[in-house]
Amino acid sequence: MLDRQIFTDSHAKSILTTMNNLRKVNKLCDVILRVEGRDFPGHRIVLAACSDYFCAMFTNEMSEKDKQIIELHEISSSVMEVLLDFVYTETVNVSVENVQELLPAACLLQLTGVKQACCSFLEKQLDCTNCLGIKVFAEQHSCELLLAAAESFGLKHFEEVLMQEEYRNLPLEQVKSLIKSDELQVNSEEPVFSAVMTWVKYDSEKRKEYLAQLLQHVRLAMLSARFITDVVDDEPLIKRCHECRDLLDEAKKFHLRPDLRSTMVGPRMKSRIGTDDILVVMGGFGSHQNMVEVVEQYDPKCGEWKRLPNLTKRRRYVAAASLAGKVYVIGGYDGQSRLNTVECLDISADDPVWQTIAPMSHRRGLAGVCVYKGEIYVCGGFDGFTRHTSMECYNPHTNQWHILSGMAVGREGAGLVVAGDKIYGIGGYDGVNLLDSAEVYDPVKEEWSNIAPMSTRRSGAGVAVVNDLVYVCGGYDGTDHLASVESYNIHTGQWTAVTHMIVPRCYVGACVLRGKLFVVAGYDGNTLLNTVESYDPTTGKWELLDSAMKTQRCDAGVTVARKL
C-alpha cells in the first residue's frame, strides 16, 4: 500500500505567505483594487477564495469580471489595507480607532473572519455607557451574536444604563423596546417608571406626547401602593394626560380590589422574569434526624436544582440572607449549642468558598433575618436559655455588628421582613406560648410598636412580602401543622385570609422570586418535605414546582440571591 502524504496548516500558511510577499512587490498580480485613488495589487483567486463578494464579482457576468482596475467605494484606503492584510495573513488588528469603519467594510466585502473579530472586540468593550449604541450598531450590520450580547448587557445593567447620556438620546422605538422587555432585570418596577420619566423630561416639549405610549409598557400594578400614591399620582405630566390616568387607575384597581386580580390579565399585570435571581436553601434538619450541611440552588430560568458548596458544619435552626451577590448563613444549632457564627458564600465567584465573618453578639437559633438598606438585621431567636427580644445589625463594609432596640416579646421561630420602609417581626414562640402577635420597627425612631395580631398563632411560619402585603404561610399553632396563609396590609393594618397552600408546612422558608411567593421544604406533621410551591398574587392560586430538591428538610435557611 502506498503511503499517503498529509498536507498540514503550515503548508497552507507557507503558500499564503509567499503570495503576500508577491502582492507587496506587485508580482503575478492580476487585479488592482483602487480605493480613494490608492492602488492595491492582488490575486483574483485569493480574493475570491476569502470573500463571497469578490467570488461573485470574478465568477459571474459582472462588469468588473475582466477589468484590470476595480474601483471600490464606501471604504477608506486605510481600512482596505487592513482587510487585504487579513486576506493574505488571517490576522487583523481591531482597535477602538478602526472598529467602526472596519466592521461595515468587512460586512460589505463579506469577510466573515474580520466581522467576527470586530464583534468579539466590541463585546469585550461593552459597558453601561456604550451598550445601547453598540446594540444599534450590531443591528445595522446584522451581527446577531453581538446584538444579543449588547441587548443582554443593557437588560442586566438597566439601572446604571438609564443614568447615561446615551440612554437619554435614544429614539422612541429603542426606548420602547428596552422598557417593554420581559427580561429586564430590576428588583422592582420603580426604575422602569423613572426611566420613562427621565427620557420624556430630557426634551419635555417634544417628547411628552409619547408618555402614554411608553407608560403602557411600565407595569404600574407591580409598583407599591405607596409609590403609586406618593410619586406617580403627583407627576404633573401624568395628571395632564387622560390615557396616562387610565393606566394609573388600572394599577390602583389592582391594589384596591384583590378579588378582581384574576380577571386583570396581560403583561402589565405580571412581574418581569428577566432577573438572574436564584433560590438558595442551606442547612436544616434532614431525614433520619440528621442535621444537614447541603446547600442547593434553584434557577427558575431552567427549572433545575444544583448543588452549591456544603456548609462548613451541619446545622439546623439557621437563618439566611443575601446581599451584594453573597449568601449568608446565620446562627443555628450544631447539635451541641446554639451558634453566633456567621459565614458567607460569594455565588458570583468561579470557585465559591464559605468564609467566616464577624460573629453576632448573641447566639441565636431560629432567629428572624432581613436585609434593609444594605445591612443585615437579625432579631429574636433562642440561645439555649433565653428567647431574645434583641435585634442586631451587620454592616458588610465594616464587618461589624451593633445592637439595636429590642422587641417587646422574645420570639423564637418568628418571621422578620421589610415592608414600606419598616421592619416587621411576626409570630413565633416566647418559651411559654405560641404567638399570634406581631410588632413593627421604625428605623428612623428606632422604636418597636405592636400591630394587629394574626388570626392564628404561628411559629415556624414562612414570611415574605409581595406588593406591600406581608404573607405568613403555614407554621405550627400548638395542635396542627398548618396549610393556612394570611396576609397583612401595611396601609390598612388589617389581616386577610389567603388561599391555603397545597401542603401543610411548618419550619418552612418563604421568599419572593419573579414576583411570586415561594414556600420551600418544611414538615407536614408526618414527613420532611423537599417540595416547593409558589403563589401567584394575581390569580390567588398555589402550584407545586415540577422540580423538587434532592434533600428533604425543615429548619433550613432560605433566601433569594443574584449573581453579580
Domain coordinates of the chain in residue numbers?
A: 9-125, 170-269, 277-562
Residues 392-429: tens digit of each pLDDT = 999 999 999 999 999 999 999 999 999 988 999 999 99
Quick check: 83 and 109 in contact, CB under 8 A? yes
Q: Give phi and psi for 212, each to the nearest 5.
A: -65, -40
378 compared with 20, residue with greater pLDDT:
378
Read off the pLDDT of each residue in 198-207 and give the average, rounded to a whole number. Answer: 94
Question: Looking at residue 12, what is its pLDDT?
Answer: 67
Pairing of strands 295-299, 342-346: unpaired
Selected from 1.25.40.420, 2.60.40.720, 1.10.645.10, 3.40.50.300, the CATH number assigned to the domain covering 170-269 reads 1.25.40.420
Question: Looking at residue 539, what is its pLDDT?
Answer: 81
Quick check: 173 and 147 in contact, CB under 8 A? no
pLDDT at 89 over 90: no
Q: How far apart are CA 513 and CA 520, in angstroms?
A: 12
Q: How far apart are CA 460 and CA 478, in angstroms?
A: 11
DSSP structure class, residue 365: B
| CA 320 vs CA 312, 327, 328, 366, 443: distances in Å | 15, 7, 5, 10, 21
Residue with the three cell numbers 433569594: 560
pLDDT at 172 over 90: yes
Question: Looking at residue 115, what is its pLDDT?
Answer: 92
Number of C-beta neighbours around residue 165 at 10 A: 8
| CA 362 vs CA 331, 335, 402, 414: distances in Å | 9, 17, 11, 17
Quick check: 199 and 170 in contact, CB under 8 A? yes
Residues 143-171: tens digit of each pLDDT = 999 999 999 899 888 989 999 999 999 99
Question: Looking at residue 468, what is its pLDDT?
Answer: 81
Assessment of whether the complete model's pTM goes beyond 0.75? no
Q: Report the CATH superfamily, name and number, of domain 277-562.
A: Kelch-type beta propeller (2.120.10.80)
Q: What percent of the chain has pLDDT over 90?
A: 65
pLDDT at 90 over 90: no
Query: Mean pLDDT lowest for which of 10-14, 112-116, 277-281, 535-539?
Result: 10-14
Question: Looking at residue 8, what is its pLDDT?
Answer: 53
Q: Report the CATH superfamily, name and number, of domain 9-125.
A: Potassium Channel Kv1.1; Chain A (3.30.710.10)
Query: Mean pLDDT lowest for which of 75-84, 376-385, 497-506?
Result: 75-84
Pairing of strands 31-35, 69-71: parallel
Question: Looking at residue 85, what is its pLDDT?
Answer: 85
| Triad 492, 495, 500: Cα angle to 5° | 140
Terminal-residue alpha carbon distance, the chain: 61
Q: 337: pLDDT confidence band, cut at 50, 70 and 90? A: very high
Q: How far apart are CA 505 and CA 509, in angstroms?
A: 9
Name the grid cell of 279: 433560590
185 compared with 347, residue with greater pLDDT:
347
Q: How far apart are CA 430 and CA 382, in angstroms?
A: 9
Read off the pLDDT of each residue in 284-298 and give the average, rounded to a whole number. Answer: 93
Q: 30: pLDDT confidence band, cut at 50, 70 and 90? A: confident
Q: 9: pLDDT confidence band, cut at 50, 70 and 90? A: low
Question: Looking at residue 1, what is its pLDDT?
Answer: 39
Query: Mean pLDDT lowest for which of 218-232, 269-283, 312-326?
Result: 269-283
Number of C-beta neighbours around residue 161 at 10 A: 22
Question: Looking at residue 131, what is its pLDDT?
Answer: 94
Q: What is the CA radius of gyration of the chain?
A: 31
Question: Looking at residue 2, what is its pLDDT?
Answer: 43
Question: Looking at residue 15, what is its pLDDT?
Answer: 73
Question: Looking at residue 62, what is its pLDDT?
Answer: 74
